[in-house]
C-alpha cells in the first residue's frame, strides 16, 4: 500500500489476527458482490498480500479495512475482465444487469462496514453445505472461515497442494451451482432448516478437531495444529450462536479432550491410554474452562450428543487417579448417549463402562450380545476390549491372542504398536518364572 | 482416509506387451485421463508407474551393511506395475476408483479386468483411543 498509514509492528499474534479477520472480510465482500466463489479467491489473494507485506511494512491502523480494500480491488478487476469477456462474446446486451457490480463495489470500497456477525455465520453455514462431502466441507471451512492458505491445509492433510486446491475449487463450484439454482440460498438458514444445517456445521468442526488431535501423535514436523484451529473456529461459532447448547457442548468436548494432549504419548511417541497417563500433565486450565462451559450448556435444557460426550470426558478429567474414576456415572452417561446417538462405538464403550462397574466377567458376558452384530463382531476394537477384560480376569493366554487379533485389524500405526506391545508384555509375564521362586533373596 | 491401489500385472521376463499401436495408445490415453480426473476431483495424492522387473534388484545387507544385490528370477510371481494413493471419504470410493483402473482397455479395446489390490494406509489412531 502506498498511502501513509499508522502501522504497528508484526509479531507472533499478528498471524492470528489475520486469520480472525479473514471470515469477516470474506463475509463483507461476498455480500457486496453476491458471489461467494469469486469473493473467496479475492480474499485469499488479499490475505497473501498481507502475509507478504505486513511483516516488513507493519500492520495498518485498520487491518480489516485494508483487507476489504485490497480484496475489493481484486474483485473489481475480476468483474471488469469478466464484463470485457462477455462483451467480446456478445455484440448486443439482451439482459441488463439490475445493478452494475463494478459500480456497486467501487461505491462501497472505502466505506467502513460495521462488523456484521451474520456475515461470518452465513459463511460457516455455506462452507458446511449439505451438498459437499465431508472432506470438501472441511477444506473449505478451514480456508474461508479459518483463513488458512491452501498450502497450509494441504500440508495438514498430507496431500499435494494442487489436489487440495482442486478440492476447494470444486467445493466452491458446488456451492455456486446450489446458490444459482436457489436450492441453498446465500443467507442464514430459516428456523426450519437451522437444526439440520447446524448439525452439519458441528460435525465438520468435530472432524477437524479429531483429525488434528489424532494426527498430532508422534512425528508432526511442521504440520499445522488442526486441533487448535478447530477450537478457534468453534469458539467463534459459539460467540455467534451463544444460545445453542450443543455448540457450547462441542467446545467443552474439544477442551476437555485437548487437556490430555501432553499425557497421551511417551518419549518415543508411543500411545499411552487414559488409565496409564500421568495426570499431572493434564492441562487444568482447559479442564476448568471445559467444565464451566459444560455447566452452562446443561443449564440451557436440551441435552445432545456433544454435551454427553463432553460430560464423559469431564468425569475422566476430574479423577486425579485412574482408580478414582466415577465409572457408575460414566455408565449412566453412555446409556443416555445410546438413546441420543446410537452407534457401534457407543455400544462398545457402553460395554467397557459396564465392565468397569460390574467387573470383567460381567463385561465379557455383556459383549457376547455384540456378536450378533455383523459389523461389530469382527471389529478390532471389540477384540481389544475383550483382550483387556481377559487380562483383568487373569486369563493372559486369551488376552495375548486377542490383543494380536486386534493389532492385525487396526489401520492406525500407533494403535497397532500399542496392541502388539500389550501382547508381548503379557507373554513375558506368562513365560517368566515366578519372581519369588527364582530370586528367593529379593 | 488414504488408500493405496496396487496394480499387480507384470511377470518377470515377460517383457513389454506387444499390442497393436491403436490399442496401446488407447491404454495410455486411458491412464492419462484417469490421473487427470483424480487430480481434478481433489482425490489424488500420488500415482507412479514402476519400471519393468528386469530393472529390479533384490537387496540385502551383507557384511558390515554393504548392500548385496541379486537379480529377479524369471520364475518370480507377479510384480507391482504401478500404484495410486488416493484420499477419499470412504472405502467404497476407493473401490470405485480401483474398478475404473481394472477396466483399463487392453488388446482390441476390451477391458483388462486386472485385479487391483486396495489397502488402507496406516494412519493416526481414532480419537476415542486418546
Sort out which chain B residues have CB atoms less than 8 A from A169's CB and list them.
Answer: 42
Alpha helices in chain B (DSSP H): 21-40, 91-102
- What mean pLDDT do residues A356-362 have? 94
Is A409 an interface residue toward B (CB < 8 Å)? no
Half-sphere exposure of A187 (CA within 13 A, CB side): 8
Which one-letter DSSP state was computed for residue A412?
B
- What mean pLDDT do residues A41-70 have? 88
Number of C-beta neighbours around residue B15 at 10 A = 11
**Tens-digit pLDDT profile for residues B12-42:** 666 777 889 999 999 999 999 999 999 999 9
The confidence band for A168, taking pLDDT boundaries of 50, 70 and 90, is: very high
For A214, the closest of B39, B46, B125 (CB atoms) is: B125
Sort out which chain A residues have CB atoms less than 8 A from B122's CB and list them.
Answer: 411-413, 416
Quick check: B122 and A260 CB within 8 A? no
End-to-end CA distance of chain A: 78
Quick check: A163 and B88 CB within 8 A? no
Residue B63 has pLDDT above 70, yes or no: yes
Separation between Cα atoms, residue B130 and residue A213, nearest integer Å = 9
Residue A441 has pLDDT above 80, yes or no: no
Nearest residue of chain A to residue B87 (CA atoms): A159
Most confident of A13-22, A112-121, A359-368: A359-368
The confidence band for B62, taking pLDDT boundaries of 50, 70 and 90, is: confident
Query: Residue A195 is inside which H or E element, if any?
Result: helix A191-215
Nearest residue of chain B to residue A166 (CA atoms): B42
Is B128 an interface residue toward A (CB < 8 Å)? yes
Query: Residue B46 is inside which H or E element, if any?
Result: strand B44-49
Residue A368 has pLDDT above 80, yes or no: yes
Task: Name the residue with higher pLDDT: A254 or B64.
Answer: A254
Is A173 an interface residue toward B (CB < 8 Å)? no
CA-to-CA separations, A28 to A23, A65, A164, A226, in angstroms, rounded: 9, 10, 25, 26
Chain A: nearest CA to B90, how far in angstroms? 10
Quick check: B127 and A257 CB within 8 A? yes
Query: Residue B101 is inside which H or E element, if any?
Result: helix B91-102
Separation between Cα atoms, residue A402 and residue A259, nearest integer Å = 31
Question: What cell was used for A6?
Answer: 499508522
Residue B11 and residue B78 in contact, taking contact as beta carbons nearer than 8 Å:
yes
Residue A158 and residue B46 in contact, taking contact as beta carbons nearer than 8 Å:
no
Nearest residue of chain B to residue A270 (CA atoms): B125
In chain A, % of residues over pLDDT 70: 86
Q: What pLDDT, on the 0 to 100 scale, is given for residue A201?
A: 94
- What mean pLDDT do residues A221-239 have? 83
Residue A125 and residue A197 in contact, taking contact as beta carbons nearer than 8 Å:
yes
Q: What pLDDT, on the 0 to 100 scale, is given for residue A130?
A: 87
Most confident of A2-11, A264-273, A334-343: A334-343
Quick check: B41 and A160 CB within 8 A? no
CA-to-CA separations, A343 to A73, A120, A378, A388, B126, in angstroms, rounded: 50, 33, 15, 21, 15
Residues 6+ apart with CB under 8 A from B105: B23, B26, B27, B30, B111, B112
**Tens-digit pLDDT profile for residues A405-414:** 999 998 888 8
Residue A53 has pLDDT above 60, yes or no: yes
**Tens-digit pLDDT profile for residues A78-121:** 888 877 777 766 544 444 443 444 444 444 444 455 567 777 88
DSSP string, A328-369: HHHHHHHHHHHHHS--HHHHHHHHHHHHHHH-HHHHHHHHGG
Q: What pLDDT, on the 0 to 100 scale, is given for residue A89?
A: 62
Which one-letter DSSP state was computed for residue A32?
H
- What mean pLDDT do residues B83-103 have? 96
Residue A2 has pLDDT above 80, yes or no: no
Q: What is the CA radius of gyration of chain A?
A: 27
Quick check: B127 and A134 CB within 8 A? no
Question: What cell was used for A283?
Answer: 492441562
Chain A: nearest CA to B125, how far in angstroms? 5
Residue B1 has pLDDT above 70, yes or no: yes
Q: List the Cα angle A338/A344/A349 in 5-degree steps.
A: 65
Number of C-beta neighbours around residue B125 at 10 A = 23
Residue A398 has pLDDT above 90, yes or no: yes
Distance of CA A263 to the CA centre of its chain: 20
CA nearest A206: which of A225, A230, A242, A239?
A230
Q: What pLDDT, on the 0 to 100 scale, is given for residue A108?
A: 46
Separation between Cα atoms, residue A4 and residue A60, nearest integer Å = 9
Quick check: B122 and A412 CB within 8 A? yes
**Tens-digit pLDDT profile for residues A32-52:** 887 778 888 898 889 888 888
Q: What pLDDT, on the 0 to 100 scale, is given for residue A29?
A: 86
Lowest mean pLDDT among A5-19, A153-167, A194-208, B13-27: A5-19
Residue A354 and residue A331 in contact, taking contact as beta carbons nearer than 8 Å:
yes
Average pLDDT, chain A: 84
Distance of CA A412 to the CA centre of its chain: 19
CA nearest B104: which of B74, B77, B84?
B84
Q: What pLDDT, on the 0 to 100 scale, is given for residue B110?
A: 93
Task: Name the residue with higher pLDDT: B129 or B42.
Answer: B42
Question: What cell was used for A30?
Answer: 461476498
Question: What cell was used for B36?
Answer: 487427470
What pTM did the predictor assign? 0.81
Residue B57 has pLDDT above 80, yes or no: yes
Amino acid at each position: 500500500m502506498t498511502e501513509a498509514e499508522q502501522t504497528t509492528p508484526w509479531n507472533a499474534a499478528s498471524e492470528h489476527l489475520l486469520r480472525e479477520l479473514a471470515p469477516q472480510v470474506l463475509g463483507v465482500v461476498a455480500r457486496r458482490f453476491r458471489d461467494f466463489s469469486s469473493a473467496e479467491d479475492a480474499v485469499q489473494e488479499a490475505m497473501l498480500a498481507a502475509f507478504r507485506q505486513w511483516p516488513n511494512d507493519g500492520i495498518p491502523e485498520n487491518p480489516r479495512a485494508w483487507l476489504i480494500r485490497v480484496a475489493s480491488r481484486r474483485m473489481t478487476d475480476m468483474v471488469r475482465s469478466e464484463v470485457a469477456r462477455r462483451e467480446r462474446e456478445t455484440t448486443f446486451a439482451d439482459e441488463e444487469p439490475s445493478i452494475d457490480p463494478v459500480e456497486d463495489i467501487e461505491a462501497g470500497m472505502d466505506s467502513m462496514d460495521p462488523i456484521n456477525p451474520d456475515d461470518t455465520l452465513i459463511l460457516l453455514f455455506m462452507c458446511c453445505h449439505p451438498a459437499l462431502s465431508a472432506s470438501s466441507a472441511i477444506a473449505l471451512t478451514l480456508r474461508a472461515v479459518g483463513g488458512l492458505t491452501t498450502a497450509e491445509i494441504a500440508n495438514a492433510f498430507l496431500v499435494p497442494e494442487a489436489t487440495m486446491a482442486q478440492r476447494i475449487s470444486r467445493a466452491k463450484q458446488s456451492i455456486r451451482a446450489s446458490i444459482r439454482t436457489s436450492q441453498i440460498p446465500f443467507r442464514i438458514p430459516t428456523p426450519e432448516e437451522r437444526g439440520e444445517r447446524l448439525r452439519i456445521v458441528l460435525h465438520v468442526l468435530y472432524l477437524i478437531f479429531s483429525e488434528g488431535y489424532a494426527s498430532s501423535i508422534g512425528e508432526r514436523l511442521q504440520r499445522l495444529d488442526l486441533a487448535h484451529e478447530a477450537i478457534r473456529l468453534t469458539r467463534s461459532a459459539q460467540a455467534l450462536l451463544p444460545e445453542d447448547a450443543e455448540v457450547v457442548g462441542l467446545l467443552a468436548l474439544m477442551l476437555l479432550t485437548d487437556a490430555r494432549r501432553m499425557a497421551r504419548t511417551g518419549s518415543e511417541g508411543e500411545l499411552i491410554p487414559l488409565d496409564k497417563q500421568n495426570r499431572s500433565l493434564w492441562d487444568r486450565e482447559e479442564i476448568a474452562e471445559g467444565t464451566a462451559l459444560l455447566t452452562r450448556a446443561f443449564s440451557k435444557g436440551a441435552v445432545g450428543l456433544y454435551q454427553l460426550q463432553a460430560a464423559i470426558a469431564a468425569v475422566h478429567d476430574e479423577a486425579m487417579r485412574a482408580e478414582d474414576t466415577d465409572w457408575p456415572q460414566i455408565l449412566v452417561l453412555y446409556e443416555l448417549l445410546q438413546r441420543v446417538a446410537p452407534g457401534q462405538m457407543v455400544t462398545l464403550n457402553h460395554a467397557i463402562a459396564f465392565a468397569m462397574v460390574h467387573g470383567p466377567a460381567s463385561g465379557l458376558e455383556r459383549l457376547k450380545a455384540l456378536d450378533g452384530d455383523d459389523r461389530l463382531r469382527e471389529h478390532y476394537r471389540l477384540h481389544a476390549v475383550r483382550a483387556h477384560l481377559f487380562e483383568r480376569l487373569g486369563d493372559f493366554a486369551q488376552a495375548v491372542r486377542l490383543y494380536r487379533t486386534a493389532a492385525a485389524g487396526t489401520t492406525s500405526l500407533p494403535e497397532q504398536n500399542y496392541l502388539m506391545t500389550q501382547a508381548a508384555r503379557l507373554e513375558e509375564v506368562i513365560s517368566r518364572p515366578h519372581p519369588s521362586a527364582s530370586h528367593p533373596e529379593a | 482416509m488414504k488408500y493405496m491401489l496396487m496394480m499387480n500385472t507384470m511377470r518377470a521376463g515377460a517383457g513389454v506387451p506387444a499390442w497393436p499401436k491403436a490399442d496401446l495408445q488407447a491404454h495410455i490415453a486411458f491412464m492419462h485421463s484417469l490421473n487427470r480426473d483424480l487430480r481434478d476431483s481433489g482425490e489424488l495424492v500420488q500415482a507412479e508407474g514402476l519400471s519393468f522387473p528386469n530393472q529390479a534388484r533384490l537387496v540385502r545387507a551383507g557384511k558390515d551393511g554393504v548392500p548385496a544385490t541379486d537379480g529377479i528370477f524369471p520364475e518370480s510371481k507377479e510384480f507391482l506395475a504401478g500404484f495410486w494413493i488416493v484420499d477419499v471419504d470412504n472405502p467404497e470410493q476407493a473401490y470405485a476408483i480401483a474398478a475404473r483402473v481394472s477396466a483399463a482397455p487392453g488388446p482390441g479395446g476390451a477391458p483388462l479386468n486386472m485385479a487391483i489390490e486396495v489397502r488402507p494406509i496406516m494412519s493416526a489412531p481414532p480419537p476415542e483411543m486418546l
